[in-house]
Structure 1
């Protein structure tokens, strides 16, 4: 099942994708305007959601919104693919010897087709296609062998990063958290619809040029290890977003940073694609 938030005629609602149509789920008992609340109740609501056949809209006729604009956490792991870690080292970013986690402040969450602002204060804006994991239930001290049981689903993330700001502080948080630097979507594909999240192909294009192409099976720390590590420290909540790392091909080593007018398309096989235009900060 593919769950989404969409706007039609000025109203934003929760729906599901059925082929090339969006099915409105507003009439399903228990469905409110919050995707985070739906995720928390997904086991109970699933039969009704799957059976629902509400008002339908053609996909091109709706505006797709960020699936989880009210996530309580948006966490990302740094340099989780070997070749990317090496290119990051070449760009002057220290390579960690354990899992390196940072916050993307939730105020950066952006829609799957909304513009990304190239802020005047950020000189070196870069792209990172990533597999986003959505936590499905409140959990702590989860063992790697049980980690999949706490996942609600997956989506595409572009972990937009200001490389100059990554170097300004001991953590990555500031460089990862500019407003609009968290495009996500286009929907949440539930875990049961993904045979193996570690066998998905990720691709990213800038202005039609393929810059990143890599399968998710090459993570240094796989999804299960990530959840075990994080949940040792903190309680994970329904709707929390984990960005699980990007492969090589970022712009930093060559200095090919994003500029206003660029169009960035990030795609993961089976999960869909998001596409964002880079725009200049308004005066």
Structure 2
């Protein structure tokens, strides 16, 4: 199951489900089948908080799709809607893992930069933007805008002191993040936050794929292209800290909650890693593909 947040024309955002060549407005479908107000929450983060009850409801609706003709108003083609980040306004900063691929750590410095302990930083909620959105070029602030294609984890339920062997039980699903970074700001300020938290520099999407679709999130191919040229190509089986360990470490002293987003790190091949560096320019198109999830595309203003 692939869950989206979308709008039809100038309407309000709705929680949708990708179904074949369509996007289903789940609230509208629920209203048709039940002949009354929908039990589907208004936002995807609220849906995630409802846990198994939400998934059960969605499965009931899918099992009733033989009545599609009666619910045609709930079905939209992709070109009829605008896709947003699946969780357009996270309630917390996005958790990000730094230097979580060996070759990326080396390209950013040397083998001495391969971490022994996990590196965690965050991006502000105001960084979030959606698929196909234009990313500001911030020419007044940086001339070293860079890309980072990453698999992201969306937490499905509240937990603290989570054991590694139970960590995936706390996952709702997976999506794609482009951790756009102003490298010169990052270097100048001697920390990650400012260079990572410019508005609209965290495209997420195009949807959240439910965890039931992905047997092993630590074995997914990931690829980033800039203007059609492959820049990053790796697999999440090269993560230094796999997803279970990331969740366990984060939750040791901090409560993870439904809707929390964790970016798991980027492979080698970022712009800064080239000699000379190959930073993003106005008009560049970045295309990130993760196996079993899809492709996230954005362009620089």
Shorter-chain TM-score: which interval?
over 0.9
Asked if structure 2 preserves the Cα contact closer than 8 Å seen for 1:102 and 1:171, the reply is no
Unpaired stretches in structure 1, ≥5 consecutive residues:
none
Task: Give how far 1:137 is off.
Answer: 0.5
Asked if structure 2 preserves the Cα contact closer than 8 Å seen for 1:22 and 1:56, the reply is yes
Task: Give how far 1:33 is off.
Answer: 2.2
Task: Give how far 1:60 is off.
Answer: 2.3
1:199 is aligned to 219
The CA distance in 2 between the partners of 1:234 and 1:168, in whole Å, is: 30
Structure with higher Rg: it is: 2
**Aligned pair 1:224/2:225, yes or no?**
no
**Aligned pair 1:42/2:43, yes or no?**
no
More helix by share: 2
2:290 is aligned to 268
Asked if structure 2 preserves the Cα contact closer than 8 Å seen for 1:88 and 1:95, the reply is no
Deviations 1:188-217 (A, max 9, x none): 000111111111110110001010111111
* Root mean square deviation, CA, Å: 1.6
* Most deviating of 57-66 and 134-143: 57-66
2:200 match: secondary structure: coil
Task: Give how far 1:94 is off.
Answer: 5.4
Asked if structure 2 preserves the Cα contact closer than 8 Å seen for 1:72 and 1:237, the reply is no
1:198 match: secondary structure: helix
2:210 is aligned to 190
Asked if structure 1 preserves the Cα contact closer than 8 Å seen for 2:102 and 2:114, the reply is no
1:155 is aligned to 175
Q: Following superposition of structure 1 onto structure 2, how do residues 138-153 of structure 1 map, counting pairs within 5 Å? A: 138-153=158-173
Task: Give how far 1:95 is off.
Answer: 5.0
TM-score (normalised: structure 2): 0.89
**Aligned pair 1:62/2:62, yes or no?**
no
Q: 1:241 aligns with which of 261, 271, 274?
A: 261
Q: Following superposition of structure 1 onto structure 2, how do residues 1-283 of structure 1 map, counting pairs within 5 Å? A: 1-11=1-11, 12-27=13-28, 28=30, 29-52=38-61, 53=65, 54=71, 55-73=74-92, 74-89=94-109, 96-119=115-138, 120-254=140-274, 255-279=277-301
Deviations 1:74-109 (A, max 9, x none): 11000000000000116xx95543100001011100
Task: State the aligned residue count.
Answer: 278
